[in-house]
Structure 1
């Protein structure tokens, strides 16, 4: 049987850190370019609906749980290895998915969408892996 022991506090802290990073990124650093990429400049400066706060936080919790399980299953416990894992999974899965989501008819500026979203997801994945490894 396959079982993993995870540090629940580290998982919650990692997800919270990703949420805070997301708030800084999307509400402080790139709100105008993000709205432009979505073709929704009417949203700049408006308070986001609860779904747009809670939804990403739940998604980051899922990503964090995935990272925690993979780091443990792969016996990655050294910070340099965790950061390599975070970079590989960040680029190979998350950044690629960001660009894949961007390439649809509902995103008027797909390249801009990918370019401004990808750094957040890559950095947040690295932060997640670092926190999970530091607290393992």
Structure 2
């Protein structure tokens, strides 16, 4: 039987950290380039609709829970190994997916979209892995 014990407080704190990081990144650091990448300069400075707050929160929870399960499954319990895992999974899954999503005919500036979004996903994955490991 497959069982894992997960620190749910660490999952909660990591999820909140990703939400705060995302808000700082998308509303503070890159709002204009993000709008430009989407060819939606009308979005700059507008308050986000509830979907654009709840959606990333839920996705951050799923990523954090997945990291928690994988870190436990692979018996990763040192910060250096957790960060190495965060880089590998961040680049291999999250950054690759950002560029894959960007490369479609509906994205006006796919490379710009990838370049400005990928750092958030890589850093957020590292933050998630660090919090989960620090609290084990």
TM-score by length of 2: 0.99
Match status 1:127 vs 2:136: no
CA displacement at 1:126 relative to structure 2: 0.1
Q: How does 1:2-21 map to 2 (within 5 A)?
A: 2-21=2-21
Cross-structure match for 1:32: 32
Q: Equivalents in 2 of 1:108, 1:118: separation in Å?
A: 17
CA displacement, residues 67-94 of structure 1 (integer Å, 9 cap, x when unaligned): 0000000000000000000000000000
CA displacement at 1:106 relative to structure 2: 1.4
CA displacement at 1:57 relative to structure 2: 0.6
Structure 1 unaligned runs (5+)?
Answer: none
Q: Equivalents in 1 of 2:94, 2:58: separation in Å?
A: 15
CA displacement at 1:135 relative to structure 2: 0.1
Q: Equivalents in 2 of 1:51, 1:106: separation in Å?
A: 21
Cross-structure match for 2:60: 60
CA displacement at 1:36 relative to structure 2: 0.4
CA displacement at 1:25 relative to structure 2: 0.2
Structure 2 unaligned runs (5+)?
Answer: none
SS of the equivalent of 2:11 reads helix
Q: Equivalents in 1 of 2:39, 2:65: separation in Å?
A: 33
